[in-house]
């Protein structure tokens, strides 16, 4: 197993205002790098809730025997009415579920509100191994993050895997996914090549798929620092795991589950994720939406958060040199408003009239 290097660790601890006795959610647990530092800060009186759809991430951090995770009668398993796989270790709750189930997870544990929430949307290299996601290994195409599916709270997607998609979707459907989720310039060529190839043979492995994609891109446009299949693999992974839909659901739930003054931090790694985070934060920071010429507010809309990072925080050159995988990371943070006064709403309306 590779050594996990958490991205923007110092910035996360500072911007989330992590302090002793806080209740903190690490909603995308991964290698546990952020979680370990959070545990140091919150101390024994604090509570950490770590969530990950990948059971291996939970196992590696907990250091429990694997059999415990496969047994519903495990002494370490936290009983709950939703049958969510939750494992308790001292002041840590480890949850094998998708972060879009945040509200249900907190209800299952018996916690209504928390003080800080983190979501690191990156994927560690360890998480890619054995799931048919990487063209570095010749594996059967799959791309589901969670392969252990027993109920709605455990799985990311219990229907199509990536092999189903590339062998069953129409050319139009494939092109749309590759264009929108991969932001791939040659989406038409790639979709056409996939359709042509599978007429003679079903596409089975990651390397087979990567070669088809590469053949669809003209040599003069290939960026040799980036594998030609990267964007299409990203698109398929997003489609399989419903990553963008889950992110939107998560942000809404996270803001509602934060205490007054609590902060939400999200690290994204590509423009589609960052756009969702930015737009969601702005929408929740927006107050009255009545026309500027209305004498008084009739919409009743009040801002829920204040945006802490007007521009995203990015890694320093030193961090990128030490951890190249961090180079595309963007951190955005918002804080749940303590109060929304009538005066602040009035100032907002006046500023809009002035514009």
Looking at residue 289, its pLDDT comes to 79
Instruction: Check whether residue 13 and residue 120 sit in a common domain.
Output: yes
CATH (domain of 119): 3.40.50.150
The answer as to whether 201 is a domain residue is: yes
Number of structural domains found in the chain:
2
Would 2 be classed as within a structural domain? no
pLDDT at 273: 96
Residue 307 pLDDT greater than 90, yes or no: yes
Most confident of 152-156, 232-236, 292-296, 341-345: 232-236
> For position 75, what pLDDT does the model report?
55
Give the model's confidence band at 18: pLDDT under 50 very low, under 70 low, under 90 confident, else very high: very high
Position 141 scores a pLDDT of 94
Is the residue at 137 inside a domain?
Answer: no
Split at pLDDT 50, 70, 90, the class of 295 is confident
Range of the domain at 215: 158-241
| Mean pLDDT, rounded, for 197-225 | 92
Q: Is the domain of 319 the same as that of 260?
A: yes
From 208, 241, 274, the end of a domain falls on 241
Counting residues of the chain whose pLDDT is more than 70, the rounded percentage is 84
Q: What's the average model confidence in pLDDT over 271-275?
A: 96
**What pLDDT does residue 220 have?**
85
Q: Is residue 51 part of a domain?
A: yes
**pLDDT value at residue 103:** 97
The first and second tokens of residue 307, run together, are: 């945006």
235-263: per-residue pLDDT in tens? Answer: 999 999 999 999 999 999 999 999 999 99
Structure confidence by residue, pLDDT tens digits, 112-132: 999 999 999 987 666 666 678
Query: What is the per-residue pLDDT for 128?
Result: 65
| Residue 71 belongs to a domain | yes
- Domain match, 237 and 251 both: no
- Say what the pLDDT of residue 55 is: 82
* Half-sphere exposure (Cβ direction) of 182: Cα atoms closer than 13 Å: 26
Query: Could you tell me which of 319, 336, 340 has the C-alpha nearest to residue 328?
Result: 319
**Interval 72-100: pLDDT, tens:** 445 578 888 888 989 888 899 999 999 99
Asked whether the predicted pLDDT for residue 346 surpasses 50, the reply is no
Considering 207, 224, 241, which residue would you say is the last residue of a domain? 241
Whether residue 254 sits in one domain with residue 237: no
322-350 in b/e burial notation, b at 16+ Cβ within 10 A? eeeebebbbbbbbbbbeeeeeeebeeebe
Average pLDDT over residues 24-28: 97
Identify whether residues 232 and 253 lie together within a single domain.
no
pTM for the predicted model, two decimal places? 0.86
DSSP codes joined into one string, 27-96: SS-TTSHHHHHHHHHH-TTSEEEEEES-HHHHHHHH---HHHHH-TT-TTBPP-TT---EEEETTEEEEE
- Within-domain flag for 140: no
Domain-embedded: residue 131 = no
Mark whether 121 and 174 lie in a shared domain: no
Q: Which of 209, 241, 273 is the last residue of a domain?
A: 241
Neighbours of 98 (CB within 10 A): 27
| CATH code of the domain containing 187 | 1.10.150.170
> Is the residue at 152 inside a domain?
no
- Whether 113 and 209 map to the same domain: the answer is no
Are residues 93 and 83 both part of a single domain?
yes
247 and 350 share a domain? Answer: yes
Residues, the chain: 355
Is there a single domain that holds both residue 247 and residue 218? no
């Amino acid at each position: 197993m590779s050594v996990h290097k958490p991205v923007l660790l110092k910035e996360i601890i500072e911007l989330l205002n992590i302090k002793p006795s806080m209740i903190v959610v690490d909603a995308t647990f991964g290698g546990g790098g952020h979680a370990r530092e959070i545990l140091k800060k919150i101390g024994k009186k604090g509570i950490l809730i770590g969530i990950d759809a990948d059971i291996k991430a939970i196992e590696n951090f907990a250091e429990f025997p694997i059999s415990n995770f496969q047994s519903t009668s495990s002494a370490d398993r936290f009983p709950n009415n939703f049958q969510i796989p939750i494992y308790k270790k001292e002041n840590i709750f480890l949850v094998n579920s998708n972060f879009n189930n945040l509200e249900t997870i907190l209800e299952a544990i018996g916690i209504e509100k928390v003080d800080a929430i983190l979501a690191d949307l990156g994927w560690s290299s360890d998480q890619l191994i054995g799931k048919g996601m990487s063209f570095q290994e010749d594996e059967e195409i799959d791309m589901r993050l969670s392969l252990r599916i027993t109920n709605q709270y455990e799985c990311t997607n219990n229907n199509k895997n990536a092999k189903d998609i590339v062998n069953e979707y129409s050319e139009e459907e494939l092109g749309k996914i590759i264009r929108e989720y991969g932001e791939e310039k040659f989406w038409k060529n790639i979709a056409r090549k996939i359709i042509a190839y599978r007429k003679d043979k079903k596409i089975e492995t990651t390397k087979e798929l990567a070669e088809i994609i590469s053949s669809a891109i003209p040599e003069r446009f290939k960026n040799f620092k980036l594998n030609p299949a990267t964007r299409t693999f990203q698109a398929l992974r997003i489609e399989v795991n419903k990553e963008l839909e889950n992110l939107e659901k998560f942000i809404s739930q996270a803001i509602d589950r934060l205490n007054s003054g609590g902060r939400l931090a999200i690290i994204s790694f590509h423009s589609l994720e960052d756009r969702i985070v930015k737009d969601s934060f702005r929408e929740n920071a927006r107050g009255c939406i009545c026309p500027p010429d209305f004498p008084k507010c009739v919409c009743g809309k009040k801002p829920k958060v204040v945006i802490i990072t007007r521009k995203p925080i990015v890694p320093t050159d030193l961090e990128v040199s030490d951890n190249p995988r961090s180079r595309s990371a963007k951190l955005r943070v918002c804080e749940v408003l303590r109060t929304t006064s009538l005066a602040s709403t009035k100032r907002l309306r006046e500023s809009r009239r002035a514009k």
